[in-house]
Amino acid sequence: MEWNLDPSRPIYQQIIEKVETEIASGRYQPGQQLPSVRELALEAGVNPNTMQRALSELERGGLVTSRRTSGRFITEDGNMIGETRNAIADRQIRIFLEKMADLGMTKKELLKRMEKEAVSADAQNAAGQNTAVKGEEQ
Amino acid sequence: MSAVIECINISKQYKGGCQALDNVSLNCQSGRIVGLLGPNGSGKTTLIKILEKLLVPTGGTFAIAGQTDPVEIKKIVSYLPDCNFLGDTLTVKDALDYFQTFFEDFDRPRAEEMMEKLGITGTQYLKTMSKGTKDKLQLVLVMSRRAKLYLLDEPIGGVDPATRDFILHTIVANTDEDSSVLISTHLISDVEPILDEAVFINNGRIVLKSTVDAIREEHGKSVNDYFREVFKCY
Question: How far is it, in rounded angstroms, from Cα A14 to Cα A8?
Answer: 11
Q: Which of B32, B193, B220 sits opposite A45 (nearest CB)?
A: B193
Helix (H) or strand (E) holding A104: none
Enumerate the β-bridge partners of residue A73: A33, A65
Residue pair B29/B5 in contact by the 8 Å Cβ criterion = no
Query: In this predicted model, what pLDDT tens digit does every residue of A22-59 receive, in sequence order?
Result: 999 999 999 999 999 999 999 999 999 999 999 999 99
* Residue A54 Cα, gap to closest chain B Cα (Å): 12
Residue pair A75/A30 in contact by the 8 Å Cβ criterion = yes
Share of chain A above pLDDT 70, in %: 94
Share of chain B above pLDDT 90, in %: 76
Among B175, B52, B102, which residue's Cα sits nearest to residue A42? B175
Contacts of B165 in chain A (CB under 8 A): 45
Chain B (185-214) residues lying within 8 Å, Cβ to Cβ, of chain A: 189, 192-196, 212-213
Query: Does B194 contact A42 at a Cβ distance shorter than 8 Å?
Result: no
Query: Does B225 contact A11 at a Cβ distance shorter than 8 Å?
Result: no
Banded pLDDT at B233 (limits 50, 70, 90): confident
- Residue A3's identity, in one-letter code, is W
- Per-residue pLDDT averaged across A101-107, rounded? 93
Whole-number Cα distances in Å, B146 to B49, B78, B79, B105, B233 = 20, 8, 12, 5, 40
Enumerate the β-bridge partners of residue B5: B28, B64
Residue pair B156/B190 in contact by the 8 Å Cβ criterion = yes
Query: In this predicted model, what pLDDT tens digit does every residue of B8-62 receive, in sequence order?
Result: 999 999 988 789 999 999 999 999 999 999 988 899 999 999 999 999 999 999 9
Contacts of A49 in chain B (CB under 8 A): 31-32, 196
Among B208, B198, B206, which residue's Cα sits nearest to residue A11? B198
Residue pair B152/B142 in contact by the 8 Å Cβ criterion = yes
**pTM summary value:** 0.87
Query: In this predicted model, what pLDDT tens digit does every residue of A58-80 receive, in sequence order?
Result: 999 999 999 878 889 999 999 99
Question: How far is it, in rounded angstroms, from Cα A21 to Cα A81?
Answer: 10
Q: For residue A59, how many other CB atoms are within 10 A of its CB?
A: 14
Instruction: Say which range, A67-71, A72-76, A92-96, B141-145, has the weakest mean pLDDT.
Output: A67-71
Instruction: Say which range, A49-58, A93-102, A123-132, B82-91, has the weakest mean pLDDT.
Output: A123-132
Among B76, B37, B30, B73, which residue's Cα sits nearest to residue B53? B73
Q: Specify burial of residue B94 (Cβ count, 10 A radius: 0-12, 13-18, 19+).
A: middle
Banded pLDDT at A12 (limits 50, 70, 90): very high
Question: Which DSSP category does B126 fall into?
Answer: G
**Quick one: pLDDT at residue A137?**
55
**Quick one: pLDDT at residue A136?**
57
Residue pair B188/B35 in contact by the 8 Å Cβ criterion = yes
Query: Does B172 contact A50 at a Cβ distance shorter than 8 Å?
Result: no
ipTM of the complex: 0.85
What are the backbone angles phi and psi of residue A25, rounded to the nearest 5°?
-80, -10
Residue B183 has pLDDT above 90, yes or no: yes
Q: What share of chain A is helix, strand, coil (3-state, %, to 5)?
A: 70, 5, 25
Per DSSP, chain B holds a count of helices (H) and strands (E) of 9, 9
**Quick one: pLDDT at residue B92?**
94
Residue B167 has pLDDT above 80, yes or no: yes
Query: Does A8 contact B225 at a Cβ distance shorter than 8 Å?
Result: yes
Residue pair A74/A34 in contact by the 8 Å Cβ criterion = yes
Q: Which of B196, B220, B222 sits opposite A49 (nearest CB)?
A: B196
Question: How far is it, in rounded angstroms, from Cα B88 to Cα B75?
Answer: 25
